[in-house]
Structure 1
Amino acid sequence: MGGGAGTLPRRRPARARTPEPVPGARRRDPGRMACGAVSDASHDRRNDWSRTMIDRRRFLVSTLAAATAASLPACSRALAAGAEGDDAALARVLERMFQAYARDFPEQLSSQGLDRGAQASARRRLGDRSLAARERFVREQRRFLRELDAIDARALPAPAAVSLRAARWLSASYVQGAAYGYGAPQVSRPYALSHLDGAHMDVPALLEEASHWIADGDGAQAYLERLAALPLAMAQDGERAREDAGRGVVPPLAVIESALAALAAQRDLPVGQQPLLSALRRATASLPGAAAWQAQAERIVQGPLRTALQRQVALLESWRPQAGAMPGVGRLPEGEAYYRWALQHNATQAVDATELHRQGLAQLAELDARMDALLRAQGLTEGSVGQRYLALSQQVQHRYAGNEAGAAQLRRDLQSRVDSLWPLLPRYLAISPASPPDVRRLPPLASSLRSPDVPRWEVVSHGYHETLGHYVQVERAAQARTPRLFDAINLPAFHEGWGLYCERLAEEMGVYADQPLMALGYLRSFRYRAMNLIADTGLHALGWSGERTAAFIADTGGLAPAAAMARVNRHSVTPGQGVAFKCGHNAWTQARRRAQQALGERFDPRRFHDAGLRHGAVPLAVLDAVVDDWIAAGG
Structure 2
Amino acid sequence: MKLIAKIFGGLFLLLVLAVIGASMWFWFTPVGVNNYINKSMIQLAKDDPEIITQLGIIDNTPLDFHSGKLADYTEEQDEKTIEKIKRIRAGLDKYGPDGLEGQELLSWKVAVWFFDDLLRQTAIDPYGYRVTQLSGVTTDIPQFLTDTHVIKNEKSVKRYISRVNEFGRVLSEVKSRVEADREKGVVPPDFILEKSIGVMEAFIEDGAADNPLVTTLPAKLDAIDGLSEEKRAEYVAQTQEAVEGVVIPGYEAMIALYRDMLETADHDAGIWRVPNGDKIYEVALKSFTTTEMTADEIHAVGLAEVDRITAEMDQILVSQGLTEGSVADRVKILMNDPERQFPNTDQGREEMLAYLVELNNEVLEKSKDFFTTIPPQPLEIVRVPVFSQDSAPGGYYNSPALDGSRPGRFYINLKNTADNPRWTLPTLLYHEAAPGHHFQISASQLIEDVPVLRTLSLFGAYTEGWALYAERMAAIDMNMYADDPLGDLGRLQAEIFRAVRLVVDTGMHAKKWSREEAIAYMIEKTGMTEAEVTREIERYVVWPGQATSYKTGQLAILEMRARAEQELGDDFNLKAFNDMVLMNGAMPLGILHEVTDTWIAEQQAN
Aligned partner (choices 281, 304, 307) of residue 339 of structure 1: 281
Task: Pick the aligned partner of 1:461 from 403, 408, 427.
Answer: 427
1:108 equivalent in alignment to 2:77? no
Instruction: Give the CA deviation at 1:191.
Output: 1.1
1:305 and 2:247 are equivalent in the alignment? yes
CA deviation string 1:42-84 (max 9, x = no partner): xxxxxxxxxxxxxxx59xx99xx8xx999x854569xxx844x
Q: Which of 513, 518, 522 is the matching residue for 1:553?
A: 522
Gap change, CA 1:515 and 1:334, over 3 Å in 2: same
- The alpha carbon displacement at 1:586 in A equals 1.6
Structure 1 residues 255-274: aligned runs within 5 Å: 255-274=192-211
1:275 correspondence with 2:275: no
Q: Do residues 351 (structure 1) and 293 (structure 2) align?
A: yes
SS in 1 for 2:550: helix
Aligned to 2:512, what secondary structure does the other structure show?
coil
Separation (CA, whole Å) in 1 of partners of 2:466 and 2:6: 17
CA drift of 1:115 comes to 4.2
Decide whether aligned partners of structure 1 residues 5 and 158 sit closer, same or farther in structure 2, where only a CA change above 3 A counts: farther
2:484 and 2:33 map into 1 onto residues whose CA distance is: 50
Report the AA paired with residue 498 of structure 2.
R
Rounded Cα–Cα distance in structure 2 between residues aligned with 1:541 and 1:531? 15
Cα deviation 1:585-634 (Å, max 9, x = unaligned): 12211222344455566655444434333321222232122223434566
Q: 2:136 aligns with which of 171, 176, 198?
A: 198
The answer on whether the counterparts of 1:501 and 1:588 sit within 8 Å (CA) in structure 2 is yes
Corresponding position of 1:501: 469
Deviates more, 1:157-166 or 1:463-472: 463-472
**What is the rounded CA distance, in whole Å, between the counterparts of 1:124 and 1:69 in structure 2?**
17
Which has the larger displacement, 95-104 or 541-550?
95-104
Query: Relative CO higher for 1 or 2, CA cutoff 8 Å, sep ≥ 6?
Result: 1
Q: TM-score, normalised by structure 1?
A: 0.79
Give percent identity, aligned residues only.
27
How far did residue 221 of structure 1 move? 0.7
C-alpha separation in 1, matches of 2:377 and 2:36: 38
8 Å contact kept, 1:497–1:585:
yes
Which residue number in structure 2 is paired with residue 124 of structure 1?
Answer: 68
Tell me which residue corresponds to 1:17: none
CA contact (8 A) 1:501 1:589 kept: yes
Deviation at 1:475, TM superposition (A): 4.0
Tell which deviates more after alignment, 144-153 or 294-303: 294-303
> Residue 266 of structure 2 aligns with which residue?
324
Residues 589-604 of structure 1 correspond to what in structure 2 (within 5 A)? 589-596=558-565, 603-604=572-573
Deviations along 1:552-574, one digit per CA (max 9) or x if unpaired, are: 22323334444433322211111
- Aligned residue pair count: 564
Give per-residue Cα distances to partners, 1:75-107, cap 9 Å, x unaligned: 569xxx844xxxx23233212222134323321
Query: Residues 10-29 of structure 1 correspond to what in structure 2 (within 5 A)?
Result: none
Alpha carbons of structure 1 residues 607 and 412: separation in structure 2 relative to 1, 3 Å = closer
Write the distance in 1 (CA, Å) between the matches of 2:166 and 2:484. 54
Letter aligned with residue 196 of structure 1: L
Structure 1 423/563 Cα, relative in aligned 2: closer, same or farther at 3 Å? closer
Kept in 1, the 8 Å contact 2:457–2:463? The answer is no
String of CA shifts for 1:255-302, please: whole Å, max 9, x gaps: 112222333454553333222221224433573322222232233222
Pairing 1:569–2:538 present: yes
- What is the correspondence of 1:69-148 to structure 2 with a 5 Å cutoff? 74-75=24-25, 82-83=29-30, 88-116=31-59, 117=61, 120-148=64-92
Q: Give me the TM-score of the superposition, normalised by structure 2.
A: 0.82
Deviates more, 1:484-493 or 1:123-132: 484-493
Amino acid at match of 1:500: L
Q: 1:174 aligns with which of 118, 122, 135?
A: 118
Q: Partners in 1 of 2:375 and 2:167 — Cα distance?
A: 47
- Report the equivalent of 1:162: 106
What displacement does 1:349 show?
A: 2.6
Unmatched runs of 5 consecutive residues or more in structure 2? 382-405
Q: Secondary structure at the match of 1:159?
A: helix
1:271 match: secondary structure? coil
Is structure 2 residue 240 aligned with structure 1 residue 294?
A: no
Change (3 A) 1:587 1:76: farther
Cα displacement (A) at 1:461: 3.2
After TM superposition, give the deviation of residue 151 of structure 1 in Å. Answer: 1.6
- In 1: Cα distance, 2:562 partner to 2:494 partner: 22
Change (3 A) 1:233 1:445: closer
Q: Secondary structure at the match of 1:169?
A: helix
- Residue type matched to 1:125 in 2? K
Partner SS, residue 273 of structure 1:
coil
Q: CA deviation at 1:176?
A: 0.8
Partner of 1:209: 147
Alignment CA distance shift 1:176-1:292 (3 Å) = same
CA distance in 1, matches of 2:264, 2:379: 53
The answer to whether the aligner puts 1:613 opposite 2:582 as a matched pair is yes
In 1: Cα distance, 2:10 partner to 2:451 partner: 15
Task: Tell me how far 1:132 sits from its aligned partner.
Answer: 0.8
Question: Do the aligned partners of 2:197 and 2:255 also contact (CA within 8 Å) in 1?
Answer: yes
Please report the RMSD computed on the Cα atoms of aligned residues, expressed in angstroms: 3.6
Name the structure 2 match of 1:482: 450
Contact 1:5 1:348 in 2 (8 A): no
1:357-387: per-residue Cα shift (whole Å, max 9, x none)? 1111111111111111111222223444334
The question of whether the paired residues in 1 share the 8 Å contact of 2:33 and 2:108 is answered with yes
379-388 vs 200-209, greater mean Cα deviation: 379-388
2-side partners of 1:255 and 1:405: how far apart? Answer: 34
TM-superposed CA distance for 1:168, in Å, is: 1.0
SS in 1 for 2:124: coil
